[in-house]
Amino acid sequence: MKEFEIGPIRPPSEGGSFSLLIRATRNCPWSRCTFCYGTPYNREKFSIRPVDEIKEDIDIVKKISDDIRRTSEELGYGGVVNETVGAEMIKKNPELNYSQSFVNVFNWLLSGGRTVFIQDADSLIMKTRDLAEVIRYLKKTFPDIERITSYARSRTVAKKSLEEIKELKEAGLSRLHIGLESGDEEVLRYVKKGATPEDHIDAGRKVMDAGIELSEYVMPGLGGKDLSEKHARNTARVLNEIDPHFIRSRPLVPRHGTPLFEEYEKGNFKLLSPHELLREIRMLIEDLEVNSRICFDHMMNPSYVSGTWIVPLFDQDYEGYKLPDEKEHLLEIIEQGLKIKESRYISSKDLISRPHL
């Protein structure tokens, strides 16, 4: 079976929905953020894939999809994809069990075949007309697709006109995931984010004005002990200016092989303790004046040990908590969390040795 190209990462909310993964660009065009440093992509060189090459991948997806549907018909399931269909195909061809392409398409169809995530780190860096062409081809090939999403950098979006973002919306782009990380200028400079608070606001507003659903990612702890309050307060200020659909929390856990990890090892960067992290998140939430949903849909968010269980402090579903309706509820969760002994929490230091995205 012919394979199509798949990149290494996607947001948890796309993995949870078993989105189809279509790789339009390879790796990250920036790769200088000190907390990431392109390590999820093994610091490989960034490149934009030719439109025809991406379309060929979409055609391969269609071929795999048709084969799966055909097997369903032959088994008497009328084209409906279920686990029996997959098991029968793997029984006939055991190598399919090790095919990343087959597994992605099968799980995508099994979950309804409604969502697509365009990889890698900054698909909007493509020429707008090229990305729009890819999106339209996806929609033409799979008319039942309901949601097409991608990562984007604020600086990239800020450089595009509102008309260009609207063109992508009209083509079928429905959600963007942007790594805001911080709204504090000093923190952004320190971690070499390559974007200013103004870039974040400009990009976020542009996406919202274009009618595209927006997830902004924030990184509690990124300011360390020294800049914790500034980081929280100014991140809230920027988010208030944007008022995105989703705010997604990704607390800092220094990654091996990054400059920030080296600073941490040298003692130049001080990680927050679990209670300090909760207090920073509390400051952020207290200052938020948005109509967003705030989500803690990642294992790096606060969790503690209870008996033999690791218990997340917050719900980790992809829809999160609605603000302002659940603001007081969230603050109460944090107050209760601060009453739990700090020693019971899984700290950032504990997580450093564990695989994470």
| Domains with residue ranges and CATH for the chain | 153-352 (3.30.750.200)
pTM recorded for the entire structure: 0.95
Digit-coded pLDDT (tens) for 130-143: 999 999 999 999 99
In this model, does residue 357 exceed pLDDT 70? no
d(CA 190, CA 269): 11
- pLDDT classification of 356: cutoffs 50, 70, 90: very low
d(CA 207, CA 246): 13
Strand order in the sheet with 20-23: 20-23, 115-119, 147-152, 175-181, 213-218, 246-249, 293-295, 321-322
Residue 279 is predicted with a pLDDT of 98
CB 327 within 8 A of CB 293: no
Residue 155 is predicted with a pLDDT of 97
d(CA 319, CA 292): 10
Report which of 178, 115, 117 is spatially closest to residue 147, judged by C-alpha positions: 115
Q: Which residue has the higher pLDDT, 47 or 14?
A: 47
Cis peptide before 120 (omega within 30 of 0): yes
Residue 14 is predicted with a pLDDT of 87
